[in-house]
Amino acid sequence: MSLHGSTRVENPQGFTHTGAGNIYVNVGAHVQDYDKPAFRRIAEDQLRWLRRVLVNPDEMGKARAVLADTGTVILGGLPGSGRTSAARVLLRECRSDSGDFHELLPGEEDELALHDPALVATGDQLLLDLSASDDRQWSAALADLPALRKAVHDQHAHLVVVMPHGGTLDPDLQSYRVEIGRPPGLQVLRRHLRMHGMPYEQYMQSDVTVDEFVRGKRPMREIADFADLVRRAREAARPDEGFTQWCATAKRARNDRRKEVATVVAGLREAPQRALLIAVSMLHGAHADVIHRAAQLLLRTLDSPSDGVPLLQHKDLAERLAEISAETGPGGYVRFKELDYDSAVRAHFWDHMPDLRPHLATWTASIVDLNDRHVIPTVRDGLVARLAGQYLRTGRGDGLASLAELWSTGAAGRARLEAAVHALTCGLDDPAHSRDFRERTYQWCAHRKLSGEFAQVLVRICADVLAASHPDQALLRLYYLARRERGTTLALQALHDLAAGSRRLRRRLLDRLARSDLSPPDLGIFLRACDPVALTDSSDIPRALVEETGVQRSLTTCWHAVLAELPRATWQPHAERWLHRAADNTGPQSELLLDLLVNAAERCAERRGEVFAALYASAREAERGAPGGPARSVKTTELLLHKISAAQGLGLVAPPASAKGSQP
C-alpha cells in the first residue's frame, strides 16, 4: 500500500494528480492564489485514505509501542510489504498541534545534514525513507542517526526510519528495529474494496479471479491498483453484471495490450480515425463535444488535408466512435468499451510514433486554452496528467519540465499556467523522477532567468506542492524567488505564510537571512519575518524563539543591516511593532526585544548616535499608536532610553522601576 506508483489517471471526472547573480523577475497574478493550498489538502486526504485502507502488517503494534516509548522506530521488511505506508501511518497517528510532518532528504540541494539539530522542531513527525538507498547512503545515514535521534528526543518529536532490505544496524540501534511482515493479500484487497464503497456481500464472496490474483504474493501497491480497477469496472458495468464480471474485467485490464492495440491501429489507415482514437485516449471520459473538437484540432495541428467530402456525407460521431471501440454513455461522456484501453492506446502512439510527440504537446496546450463549457478543470488536469505520464513513463522528465516552462512564457493565460503547475506536480509526485524535479525547481528558483509568468508557477509549486511534505525545500526556494521579484509580493507573501506556520521554519529563514549578503530584498524579507508576536510566543514550548541564542544572533545581524542601510521611513513601522509588543508583554521577552534593537544600533559604528536618536524618536511616536494606551508605552520608551544611554556609556538616565535589565 505504498503511495509510490506509476503515473496514471484513474478517474478523469475527478481531481487528478499524479546562471549566478541577481536576476529580477515579475510575477503575475493569474494562477490560483497561493493562499489556497489545494495540493496540501490533497496530500492530507491521501494520508487519511492511507490510514483507512492500511491493514496492519505483522508487528505493527510493536512498532507503535517502540515509537511511543522512544520517539524513534526503524522499520525493516521485504519490499512490497507496505513499509513506507506503515511509516506514514505511524507518523500520522503521532500528529500534534505543535509539530509538522516532513520527509528528510539527506544529500539534496540546500537540505540540512541529518546531524543538524535545526532539522527538528517541537512535536515534528519525521520520515527518513531509505528503503531504496545504496550501501553508501545507508552508512552515511547511520553515522548521523545518533545525533538525529537526540534532537528528536529533545524536541519531543517522532522519527520513523525505513531501512533498506538487507541493510545492517549497529548493535546499539537494534532495540529500535521492528521487522514488519506482509499482511494477508486477500484481507488487504477486501479492505480496499470496502473503502471504495463495494457492497459487503459482493467482495466477501469467493471468486476465482481474486483467488488467483492474491495467490501471487503481490506487493501492496499492486493489490491497491487491482482494487481500484475492480471499482472502475463496477462503475462502467451493465446492471446485470456482478462481482465476478467486475473482477474478470479488472484482470483483462491488467493484461499487456500492446499487440492488440498495434493490430487495431494498423487497421485504421485514415488520419481522422487515428486522430479520434488519440483524442479519446487523451481525453477519456470527456464530453463528446470536446472529443470531436479535439480530434479536429489534432488534425489541424498535424496539417492534415481536408478530405473534401460534404459535411452531410461524413460519418456521424457515433459511427466513428464504434470504429475505435468507444461509445458515448449517459450525459454524453465518451469512453472505450474496454477498461484501461485508453492507457494502451496512449503508450502505443507515444512509443511507435515518436515524431508525433511534440505535436501532442502543442495540441494539449490548444485544448487547455479552449473556451468551452465542457472543458472544465478536471478535464484539463486529466489531459495534462496523461501527457505527463507518457513523458515520465519513458524517462523524459527533462522534456516535461521544458514543456511546463514553455507553457508559462509569452501571453500565457490562467488555464495554461494551471496546466504548467499540474505538469510539474506530476513530475514531483512521480517516485522515479521526484528528486530530479526537486533539483530542477531549485535551479529555476535560485539561478535561472525566469521569463513570462513562470515565476508565479514556481511560487505555486513551492507553496502548495513541495510545502506539503518538504517544507524546508519549499521555504528556501520561495526565499530565492522572493528576493528576486519586482512589482509584486506573491513569493514574499507565500514565504511569509509558510514561515508563519512553523517556529522551525522561521528560525531557519532568519538564519539564512543572517548568512546572506543582506541586500535590500533580503532586508525586505527580514522585516516581514521578524514578527515580534511570533518571536515571543512561548505557548506549548519551554522558551520563545527570541530567547534562543542563535535566533538572537540572526535578529541582531539583520536589524543592524536594516538600521544602517534602510531609510527610517522603511523600518519605523516594524520597529514600532517591536516596541508595542515590548509594552504589551510582561515576560522577559519584552526587554529582549529592546536589547536586540539597541545591540543592533550599537554596531552602526560612527552612525550609532544617529541611529540611537532615530530609535528613540520612533519609540516616542509609537506611544501615540500603542494598542494598550500610552502609559505602558511611555515606560517602554524610558527603558529604551536607559539602554541606549548605557550602550553609549552615558549613564544619565536611571532605569524605570519595572526594568529587569535582561541581556541577550
Per-residue pLDDT for 412 more than 70?
yes
Backbone angles phi, psi at 200, to 5 degrees: -55, -45
DSSP state of 545: G
Q: State the pLDDT at residue 530.
A: 95
Distance CA 344, CA 281 (A): 8
Identify whether 247 is part of a domain.
no
Q: State the pLDDT at residue 656.
A: 56
Question: Which set of grid coordinates corresponds to residue 142?
Answer: 547511520
Tally of domains in the chain: 2
Neighbours of 578 (CB within 10 A): 24
DSSP state of 465: I
Neighbours of 559 (CB within 10 A): 25
Task: Annotate 75-110 with three-state secondary structure.
Answer: EECCCCCCHHHHHHHHHHHCCCCCCCEEECCCCCCC
DSSP state of 461: I
Per-residue pLDDT for 422 more than 90?
yes
Q: Which amino acid is at 551?
A: V
248 burial (CB, 10 Å; 0-12 / 13-18 / 19+) is middle
Q: Which of 157, 179, 201 marks a domain boundary?
A: 179
Q: State the pLDDT at residue 661.
A: 42
Per-residue pLDDT for 565 more than 90?
yes
CA 290 vs CA 9, 29, 124, 425, 594: distances in Å: 18, 28, 47, 25, 64
Q: Which of 120, 147, 179 marks a domain boundary?
A: 179
Q: What CATH number has the domain bearing residue 72?
A: 3.40.50.300
Question: Which set of grid coordinates corresponds to residue 435?
Answer: 528528486
Of 14-18, 252-256, 262-266, 476-480, give the lowest mean pLDDT range. 14-18
DSSP state of 58: B
What average pLDDT does range 296-307 have in this prediction? 88
Q: Which of 149, 179, 209 marks a domain boundary?
A: 179
User: Buried b vs exposed e over 531-546: b needs ≥16 C-beta within 10 Å?
Assistant: bbebbbbeeebeebbb
Q: State the pLDDT at residue 14.
A: 33
Q: State the pLDDT at residue 161.
A: 97
Per-residue pLDDT for 642 more than 70?
yes
40 burial (CB, 10 Å; 0-12 / 13-18 / 19+) is middle
Q: State the pLDDT at residue 41.
A: 53
Identify whether 35 is part of a domain.
no
Distance CA 184, CA 55 (A): 8
Q: Which pLDDT band, with edges at 50, 70 and 90, does 409 fall under?
A: confident
Q: State the pLDDT at residue 652.
A: 54
Q: Which of 282, 275, 273 is nearest to 302 (CA)?
A: 275
Identify whether 551 is part of a domain.
yes
Of 23-37, 63-77, 225-239, 618-632, give the lowest mean pLDDT range. 23-37
Question: Which set of grid coordinates corresponds to residue 204?
Answer: 466477501
What average pLDDT does range 300-315 have in this prediction? 79
Q: State the pLDDT at residue 643.
A: 92
Q: Which pLDDT band, with edges at 50, 70 and 90, does 613 fall under?
A: very high
Identify whether 164 is part of a domain.
yes
Mean pLDDT of all residues belonging to the chain: 88
CB 534 within 8 A of CB 506: yes
- Which run of H or E residues covers position 456? helix 454-460
Beta-sheet pairing, 125-129 with 326-328: unpaired
Q: State the pLDDT at residue 149.
A: 95
Q: State the pLDDT at residue 60.
A: 95
Identify whether 269 is part of a domain.
no
Per-residue pLDDT for 303 more than 50?
yes
What average pLDDT does range 25-53 have in this prediction? 59
DSSP state of 169: -
Identify whether 630 is part of a domain.
yes
Q: Which of 451, 537, 555, 459 is nearest to 500 (CA)?
A: 537
Distance CA 220, CA 80 (A): 6
Backbone angles phi, psi at 178, to 5 degrees: -130, 125
Distance CA 8, CA 387 (A): 10
Q: State the pLDDT at residue 31.
A: 53
CA 583 vs CA 339, 538, 591, 631: distances in Å: 68, 17, 9, 9
What average pLDDT does range 254-259 have in this prediction? 88
Beta bridge partners of 529: none
Neighbours of 37 (CB within 10 A): 21
Domain assignment of residue 152, given as a range: 56-179
Q: Which pLDDT band, with edges at 50, 70 and 90, does 664 fall under?
A: very low
Per-residue pLDDT for 369 more than 80?
yes
Please give the model's pTM, rounded to 2 decimal places.
0.87
Beta bridge partners of 161: 74, 128
Identify whether 349 is part of a domain.
no
Query: Which residues have a Cβ under 8 Å from the Cβ of 168 and sit 6 or more positions away?
Result: none
Q: State the pLDDT at residue 11.
A: 34
Backbone angles phi, psi at 517, to 5 degrees: -80, 0
Q: Is 1 helix (H, G, I), strand (E, B) or coil?
A: coil
pLDDT in tens, 513-553: 999 999 999 999 999 999 999 999 887 777 889 999 999 99
What average pLDDT does range 573-578 have in this prediction? 95
Q: State the pLDDT at residue 130.
A: 95
Q: State the pLDDT at residue 38.
A: 45
Q: State the pLDDT at residue 399.
A: 97
Per-residue pLDDT for 251 more than 50?
yes
CA 155 vs CA 265, 305, 454, 537, 564: distances in Å: 61, 69, 38, 17, 36
Q: Which pLDDT band, with edges at 50, 70 and 90, does 9 fall under?
A: very low
What average pLDDT does range 38-57 have in this prediction? 76
What average pLDDT does range 418-445 have in this prediction? 95
Per-residue pLDDT for 258 more than 50?
yes
Identify whether 234 is part of a domain.
no
What average pLDDT does range 345-367 have in this prediction? 96
Mark residue 368 as left, alpha or beta (left: phi above 0; alpha: psi -120 to 50; beta: remaining).
Answer: alpha
